[in-house]
A and B are shown apart, each in its own frame.
Chain A
């Protein structure tokens, strides 16, 4: 199962797909991730990450109808799978666990 654990960019992209919902595609995902992380990712980097997530079965994709503004090309729309949902819940639980006991000033939180 270690292979299905998303890495840092994978987690950001998976969260973007979850946030944007069905119909999210490369550009919208890239914009969302770039805005939130402050890093200008290329569309290629986002598609490589989405491909890895799809190989891990954390997202699935479908091809839309051709869109004129895209030169008649289709969109590849992504959505989070049940396995992706589980991976996000696990990631949230692990993040909460590893941050536990660390205060806002990055010092140990006083015991209650």
Chain B
């Protein structure tokens, strides 16, 4: 009986060095096998997820300790690439939607008041999830760290822009929703990428 693959991939995605990660994953797998015999599969899986959460800060600590200048450059490159990748896809989708709307002689202004913000939120969520997915796809060493870093960067930028422009006439909900969506979306995208990785094998 093997430990939950998704939890293992999540732990692998935090960028810890192999010398730290591999013995830790081995220890968890060894204890998981004992717990399956003693407590059953369900309890052993719950135990594994709980231990994974407890191991997370230590794996992140190891990633931070082993961080060197090339790793930081790589992380910045991944974030920039995923940003431009997402913007390009968004631009193409907007062009397609505009083309379709014009062919159907439909104006977005015709949308009722609650529909238009909902449309913006939907576009925002899709783009940010896609951005996180792309960041996790581009970074093989620490995919989840890249997705989280992207989310935090986007969220902080949106908050800073909102603060500097004092909202610039936008509605209050936008300045509340935008940083949350920008922070959470990429993390969800990163996790979705890791689910796909867990189904097909693993990161390492």
Contact = CB atoms under 8 A, between A and B. Distances in A.
A27 B27 contact: yes
A67 B34 CA distance: 14
B26 interface: yes
Interface string A16-58: 0000000001110010000000000011110110010000000
Interface residues of A, number: 19
A44 B29 CA distance: 14
Contacts, number: 65
B163 interface: no
B25 interface: yes
- Chain A CB count within 10 A is highest, among B23, B33, B55, for B23
A30 B54 CA distance: 14
B26 A71 contact: yes
B51 interface: yes
A74 B26 contact: yes
A57 B13 CA distance: 29
Contacts of A30: 27
Contact of B55 (A42, A67, A70, A71): A42
B24 A43 contact: yes
A111 to B, nearest CB: 48
Contacts of B23: 25-26, 47, 73-76
A28 B184 CA distance: 38
B22 A67 contact: no
A51 B24 contact: no
Interface in A64-84: 67, 69-71, 73-76
Interface in B51-82: 51, 54-59, 61-62
B2 A71 contact: yes
Given A42-B51, A70-B26, A47 B33 contact: no
Interface in B139-184: none
B30 interface: yes
A76 B27 CA distance: 10
A12 B54 CA distance: 20
A62 to B, nearest CB: 11
Contacts of A42: 51, 54-55, 58
26 contacts: A25-B23, A26-B24, A27-B27, A42-B54, A43-B27, A43-B28, A43-B51, A43-B54, A44-B56, A44-B57, A45-B58, A47-B24, A48-B61, A51-B20, A67-B26, A69-B30, A69-B33, A70-B26, A70-B30, A71-B3, A71-B29, A73-B26, A73-B29, A75-B23, A75-B26, A76-B23
Interface of A: 25-27, 30, 42-45, 47-48, 51, 67, 69-71, 73-76
